[in-house]
Each structure stands twice: as C-alpha cells, then as structure tokens.
Chain A
Amino acid sequence: KAGVTQTPRYLIKTRGQQVTLSCSPISGHRSVSWYQQTPGQGLQFLFEYFSETQRNKGNFPGRFSGRQFSNSRSEMNVSTLELGDSALYLCASSLGLAGEYEQYFGPGTRLTVT
C-alpha cells in the first residue's frame, strides 16, 4: 500500500500571502489529522477530519483551516501568513478516529515564510 503523501514537500511564501497544503491518506483510511512542528513548540495538533467533518480542533487561530473531500483527501489552508507560521506541517491518516487507531504520518511539507 502506498503511504501518506503530502504536496508540496517544500514551499517558500511571503508574509501576508496564503498557502494550501495537500494530503492524500492511505487507501481506505477515513481520518486525516494535521500537525504543526516547530523547534520551539514541538508537535502541535491542528485539526482532525473524519468523513468530511472536522472532529477535533487544536488551539490555533482561525487563519488555519482545513477540509476533507469525499475520497478522504484533505487540504489545509493558512491565510495571511506570519513569520511564525514557518514550520513542518505533518499530515497523518488512520482507519478511524485518532486515538481509536494508530496514525500513519506523511513526510511533511516544510513551509518557510519570509
């Protein structure tokens, strides 16, 4: 089975711009979660989608949003980028809800905001 794929792998954006990141889960997985990883804050949960519905949300501002499509693929969007949004963004998929099933992570998208 193919693993979790994320595109693009690297991205450079300017402050104030917006960005959309994409995640394709493992075939058959219905849950997709997003995480932000920075050297200072570590791995932080952004949100989880299951069957096209947001099931959980972390403590991030409204500039961070996401969605899931009927084929379970997911996108996350960050609007009005700030320098502090520079991070590795990780997507993880699981058969069911996180906590009920183990999660499989993608390689991440490294976003640099200048």
Chain B
Amino acid sequence: DAKTTQPPSMDCAEGRAANLPCNHSTISGNEYVYWYRQIHSQGPQYIIHGLKNNETNEMASLIITEDRKSSTLILPHATLRDTAVYYCIVIINAGNMLTFGGGTRLMVKP
C-alpha cells in the first residue's frame, strides 16, 4: 500500500472549515483513500473514503486531486468535538490491512 504524509498538527477556529491535507504521491490506480479519526481514549471512527471522485457525507467532504497524489478532508463547520487525530490511509480494495501512520492532531479552538 502507498505511504501517506500528513502534517503532525493543525489548529482550526470553531465554526470555520477545517482542511486536512494528505499526500499519497505513490498511490496506485486501484488504491482507495480512507479517512478515520480518533478522539482521545476512544477507538478510531470511520469518516469517508474515495477512489477518484470527490465524496461528501454527513460528516465531511473528501477532495482528491485529479492525479490522485493528494487529497484533502474538509470538515465544513468544525466544532470542539472534532478535536481528534485524523488518519489518512490508502489501501487496495479487498484483502489488505489498514496501515495507520502518525495522523494529524487537529485542535479546534473556541
């Protein structure tokens, strides 16, 4: 599976959009981009995933560049409860394990 690079930490003001970048320059054509987050002392939580097209659900939007070498997770209106470590993972569909990197520690401030 391709390796991902994320900034170790980011701050965001409450109510503003949080844009979390992820670099996956070695991604191959059949690898999906997944995002999970882990709020302190809890198990990770699935957020969203995509292959080529941009995706949106009730939690977030995922923007994948046309060359698929990077992506951005967008939390449109961050709240204090969005403070967590966000993990970007790329994985071949089916049969492969998830490899979690260091993630980005997002701090949402009042």
Contact = CB atoms under 8 A, between A and B. Distances in A.
Main secondary structure of the interface of A (DSSP, over half): strand
A43 B96 CA distance: 16
A48 B97 contact: yes
Interface of B: 32, 34, 36, 38, 42-46, 49, 87, 91-103
Given A99-B91, A99-B92, A102-B49, A108 B43 contact: yes
A102 B46 CA distance: 7
A102 B93 contact: no
Interface string A16-40: 0000000000000000010100000
Contacts of B96: 56, 97-99
A105 B110 CA distance: 29
A105 B38 CA distance: 10
A4 B46 CA distance: 13
A: interface residue count bin:
20 to 34
B43 A99 contact: no
Contacts of A87: none
A45 B97 contact: yes
A99 B32 CA distance: 8
Contacts of A45: 97-100
B36 to A, nearest CB: 8
Given A56-B97, A98-B97, A102-B34, A107 B43 contact: yes
A105 B91 contact: no
B99 A99 contact: no
